[in-house]
Chain A
Amino acid sequence: KAGVTQTPRYLIKTRGQQVTLSCSPISGHRSVSWYQQTPGQGLQFLFEYFSETQRNKGNFPGRFSGRQFSNSRSEMNVSTLELGDSALYLCASSPGNRGIEETQYFGPGTRLLVL
C-alpha cells in the first residue's frame, strides 16, 4: 500500500497570507489527524477528522481549520499567517474505527516557513 502523502513538502509564505496543506491517507483509512511540530513546543495535536466530520480538536486558534473529503483526503488551512506558525505540519492516518489501540501512520510532513 502507498503510504501517507503530503503536499507540498515545502512552503514559504509571508505574514498575513493564508496557506492550504493537503494530506492523502493510506487507502482504506478514514481517519486523518494533523499535528504541528516545532522545536519549542514539540508535537501538538491540531485536529482529527473521520468520515468528513471533525471528531476532536486541539488548543489552536480559529485561524487553523481543516476539512476532509469523501475520499478521506484532508486539507488544513491557516489564515493570517504569523511568524510563529513556522513549523513542520504532519498528518497521520488510521482506520478510525478500532479505538485507542490504533496505530497512526505519518506522512513526511510539510515544512512551512513564514517570513
Chain B
Amino acid sequence: GDSVTQMEGPVTLSEEAFLTINCTYTATGYPSLFWYVQYPGEGLQLLLKATKADDKGSNKGFEATYRKETTSFHLEKGSVQVSDSAVYFCALSSSDSWGKLQFGAGTQVVVTP
C-alpha cells in the first residue's frame, strides 16, 4: 500500500536558519503530494502541493519539488522565523483511494530567537 516517510523530529533551528524536512513516498501510479502544517491546538493547513513530476509547490517562502525518480518531496525554507514553529506533515493522495490522504508521521520544528 501507499506510505510516506518523513524525517523524525524535533528539528531545532535558530531564526534565519535554513530548513529542510525530508519526505519520501511509496505509491502506485502518480500520486499528488502535499505538505500540511499544524500549529498547536489547531487543525491542519495546506502549505503547498504538487500534482505531477517536476512540479514545484511554493507558499510563504516554503518550497518542495515533486521528484519521481527519487520518490521524494522535500520541504525547504531559506530563512525560518519563530512563527514557523509547528508540526509539518507530508502526505499523498493516490488514485487507488478516494478521499484519503496518506500522511507521514509529522516533523516538529522548533525555531528559537
Contacts and interface: CB of A to CB of B under 8 A. Distances in A.
A101 B32 contact: yes
Contacts of A55: 98-99
Given A42-B105, A101-B32, A101-B51, A48 B95 contact: no
Interface in A85-115: 90, 92, 94, 96, 99-109
Contacts, number: 65
Interface residues of B, number: 26
B95 A99 contact: yes
B43 interface: yes
Which 4 pairs between the two chains have the least Cβ-Cβ distance?
A: A48-B99, A106-B43, A43-B103, A100-B93
Given A42-B104, A43-B106, A106-B43, 11 more contacts: A45-B102, A48-B99, A55-B98, A90-B44, A100-B93, A101-B32, A103-B34, A104-B46, A104-B99, A105-B46, A109-B42
- The binding surface of chain B is classed by DSSP as loop
Interface of A: 4, 31, 33, 35, 42-43, 45, 48-50, 55-56, 58, 90, 92, 94, 96, 99-109
B89 A31 contact: no
- The binding surface of chain A is classed by DSSP as strand
